[in-house]
Structure 1
Amino acid sequence: MKLNCTTKTSSFSTDSDTLNVLLYGRTESTHFATVGAAIMDEIRRSRLVPSGKALDLLSIALSVICADLAGHRKASADGWTRTFELTIAVQDSSFWNEQADTLGRLLAFLTTDIWQFRFVDEGISLPSIENCQQPDEDCVSLLSGGLDSLVGNIDLVEQGYIPYAVTQTVRGDGYQQTTFAESIGNGLSQFKVNHNARVPNPETPSSQRARSIIFLTYGVLVATTLKRYQQEHRVPLFVCENGFISINPPLTPIRLGSLSTRTTHPVVFSIFQDILNAAGLRVDITNPYQHKTKGEMLRDCQNQEKLTELASQTTSCGRYLIHGHQHCGRCVPCLVRRAAFLVWNKDDSTTYKYTNLGIKNDEHAGYDDVRSALMAIQECHKLGTKRWLSSALSYPRIQQKDKIAHMIERGLEEVEALLNRYGAK
């Protein structure tokens, strides 16, 4: 699939096989894609001035999101692997063409697709902004509305950091996302945006495998506006997620491709960091909880009173919108969440659609994610953690593999305790 991503309709391709993408524009037309206009509005409203390379990175990430939404896996030769050829308008085409192969490797790891990039001049540049801001915060932290990012931001404040919260707004989560920012410490400054990507004939259900590139890019964008960054210092970008979900080991061999996402995988962070370093962007991505399970994150949170107040208001479910803004209780993120509350030994007032996982039908104990978890637990006991993990930790970029393997073992034990509680077999 070919995409031509530009800031001007006058630069659209006339090739009928190419999807034109208008970056930072709006239209009612159904003949081309649009993305990112609201982000530019928020940058201007906040009077922030990101660096040119950060804006280029934003254009790249938005283009990738459009491709991910527009590409149909069933139309590919093997029914899964898509091939994308993207031409993207940026400010510094020479630099980004040098990074094309690295970007391709990053996206291939994230999405299991084939990505090719070509960059041309004509990228977005900001007009002069009156009374531009250079925020005093000393770091940036993603605040999604999920339980892990809540713990992370609470801990950062308790450790003396002053984070600038970056949030991708999600329908049904907006109120909680704002509430969390207002409730942590003395209230966090918050950059709230949504890419609002709109493509003709999107794949359904929509793919979200490339989404971490836009989350990370939002963080980098804001980091380059901070006073600390403007004074030539490096800025930490905290992406807080428990290590079990970060590695997200395939629970069964058949889940290796389609059902094992890599949104916060350490390999993704490592390659992305290489790109930032090459671009001279002084932003350091870190996940402080890479070696902790979700239960350990809750148990060790440094402000238990605040976490107890807010924890049940967070969202973890992978099918939250499908179930009418309700946790399903049976997908892998829900299983990990419910197991973590047991470790924490606090009441979980979250409403789950499927509560009793021991009921022997296809909606409960027989549901795919529950069965996969049960099989993984059985195989882990049989083979041992390292053999069960197989190739999941084989990547050279993964550091401290023994420590991660032990963490995954503890994470699986947390899920096992949950399933045992309901007698799921």
Structure 2
Amino acid sequence: MKFVCGPAGFQVQAADPAMPVVIYGQAEKGQVSVGGYTRHLIKKTHLEISPQAWDFLSIALSIVAADFSDLRAKSADGWTRTLELHIAVQDPVFWNAQARALEAALRFLTTDIWTFVFHSGGYGPPAQLQAFHPREDSVALLSGGMDSLIGTIDLVSQGRNPYAVSQIVRGDGQKQDDFAQSLELSRIGLNHVARSPGLQEPSQRARSIVFLAFGLAVATSLDRYHQGDRVPLYICENGFIAINPPLTVTRLGSLSTRTAHPEYLGRLQQIFDAAGINVQIQNPYALKTKGEMMAGCLNQHLLKQHAVTSTSCGRFQRFGYKHCGRCVPCQVRRASFMRWGEVRDSTPYVYDNLSIDTPQYGRFEDVRSVGMAVASAAQDGFDQWLGHSLFSPFIIDKNGYRRMLIQGLDELATLHSFYGLNE
């Protein structure tokens, strides 16, 4: 499917029909819109964003709009799509030189086939008559999830002063604000607000790129950045979910999310470096499980206060803003509470008792997949189960990742043993 993405009225000559995507504006009937309120919010805060970071934000918004609008069910294999995006930016020469690198990063993230063509005519960052350069020393993505909560707690405990950036998601906005206030952090909440005239693709494997783009934009507004220093951009995610090894042979590729995978983040870092964007993506928990993150959190009092209210579920909105209790992220969460042991997990799970032998509980696909992974590692050996999951030039400390993945699978095995699922 082809998309033409830019300000209202932006057009390119194309032989095939294309879906218009209006960035930072209101779409007409039959068009897609994205980021309509983002530009206004950033202008309102007086943050001075670098032009290249703003171009990346425009690109990320276009990617999310395309991912949102192109249904996987209509593809030849029911999953892999072919997407061609023509995007208006300020510096088309640079971005066309980076198109192949960006396509590779997105293909790794979503397993779709992406093509990018960049054109002049894109919006630049809002002009700020009274530019504000925040004094914070870094940026931390604060999602409302437990990992980003622990990450910001630890940063503050270590004497850092991060600027919290949130992607506003219905059901999480208040807790994002609560987390930031409890840590006395400045926070900005942004949202891509994509709207499509047709049905919406539910998988949306590329949506995380805009969260990172929000963080990148804010990082370039900091006083430290404008003084010429390199700014850390913290994406705090436990290593087990970041690698997300396929639990079974049927859960390959983008069926498991790769939002914080070191290869995806490493490919984007190379693009940022080529753009001269002096921001460094960091995940301090790449070699830790979620359980180890909880046990090692540097302010246990704050973690006990907020852990249960944090969000982990991959289907949180679908279940009325409740944790389902049975998806892989929920199982990792529940296993982590067991590993932590400091507070009883009082999260109100929709499917709480996994020992119930029905398709909704113990025989649900994700529960069975975890059980099969535990059994396969025990029977055939961990490395046989792990397969090629660590075969990436961006994964340097393979022994460290292997240790972490063994521990993560062991935490899940303990959860399943508690419910009698591996007997």
What's the TM-score bracket when you normalise by the shorter of the two chains? over 0.9
Q: Which residue of 2 aligns with 1:251?
A: 247
Q: Does 1:400 align with 2:397?
A: yes
Q: Which residue of 2 aligns with 1:193?
A: 190
Q: Which residue of 2 aligns with 1:172?
A: 171
| Mapped partners of 1:49, 1:258: distance in 2 | 35
* Count of residues in Structure 1 that have an aligned counterpart in Structure 2: 421
Per-residue deviation, 1:395: 1.5
Q: Does 1:38 align with 2:37?
A: yes
| Mapped partners of 2:149, 2:266: distance in 1 | 24
Q: Does 1:9 align with 2:6?
A: no
Q: Does 1:311 align with 2:307?
A: yes
Q: Which residue of 1 aligns with 2:100?
A: 101
RMSD across aligned positions (CA): 1.3
CA contact under 8 A between 1:12 and 1:20: conserved in structure 2? no
| Mapped partners of 2:49, 2:60: distance in 1 | 15
In structure 2, what residue type is equivalent to 1:420?
S
Per-residue deviation, 1:200: 2.2
| Mapped partners of 1:58, 1:202: distance in 2 | 24
| Mapped partners of 2:197, 2:15: distance in 1 | 16
- SS of the aligned residue for 2:253 comes to coil
CA contact under 8 A between 2:8 and 2:26: conserved in structure 1? no
Q: Which residue of 1 aligns with 2:279?
A: 283
Q: Which residue of 1 aligns with 2:344?
A: 347
| Mapped partners of 1:177, 1:64: distance in 2 | 25
Q: Does 1:225 align with 2:221?
A: yes
Q: Does 1:238 align with 2:234?
A: yes
Give CA deviations for 1:304-341 in whole Å, capped at 9, x if unaligned. Answer: 00110011110000111111111111100000000000
- SS of the aligned residue for 1:84 comes to strand
Q: Which residue of 1 aligns with 2:289?
A: 293
Q: Does 1:56 align with 2:52?
A: no
CA contact under 8 A between 1:247 and 1:262: conserved in structure 2? yes
Per-residue deviation, 1:72: 1.5
Aligned with 1:409 (options 402, 406, 409): 406
Give CA deviations for 1:338-369 in whole Å, capped at 9, x if unaligned. Answer: 00001110211211111111111111110001
CA contact under 8 A between 1:142 and 1:167: conserved in structure 2? yes
Aligned with 2:416 (options 404, 414, 419): 419
In structure 1, what residue type is equivalent to 2:260?
T
Give CA deviations for 1:9-67 in whole Å, capped at 9, x if unaligned. Answer: 1537687720001110024x331111112110110111101000011000100000011
| Mapped partners of 2:39, 2:357: distance in 1 | 51
What pairs up with 1:83-232 in 2 under 5 angstroms? 83-184=82-183, 187-204=184-201, 206-232=202-228
Structure 1 unaligned spans of 5+: none
Going from structure 1 to structure 2, the CA distance change for 1:15 and 1:30 (only over 3 Å counts) comes to farther
CA contact under 8 A between 1:143 and 1:177: conserved in structure 2? yes
- SS of the aligned residue for 2:85 comes to strand
| Mapped partners of 1:86, 1:14: distance in 2 | 11
Q: Which residue of 1 aligns with 2:372?
A: 375
What pairs up with 1:65-80 in 2 under 5 angstroms? 65-80=64-79
| Mapped partners of 2:282, 2:126: distance in 1 | 32
Going from structure 1 to structure 2, the CA distance change for 1:267 and 1:10 (only over 3 Å counts) comes to closer
Give CA deviations for 1:255-280 in whole Å, capped at 9, x if unaligned. Answer: 10352110110001100000000000
Q: Which residue of 2 aligns with 1:330?
A: 326
Q: Calculate percent identity across the aligned residue pairs.
A: 49
Per-residue deviation, 1:385: 1.7
Q: Which residue of 2 aligns with 1:384?
A: 381
| Mapped partners of 1:48, 1:8: distance in 2 | 24
| Mapped partners of 2:56, 2:10: distance in 1 | 22
- SS of the aligned residue for 1:11 comes to coil
In structure 1, what residue type is equivalent to 2:249?
P
| Mapped partners of 1:198, 1:15: distance in 2 | 25
CA contact under 8 A between 1:385 and 1:405: conserved in structure 2? no
Q: Which residue of 2 aligns with 1:25?
A: 25
CA contact under 8 A between 1:6 and 1:12: conserved in structure 2? no
Per-residue deviation, 1:396: 1.8
In structure 1, what residue type is equivalent to 2:292?
E
Structure 2 unaligned spans of 5+: none
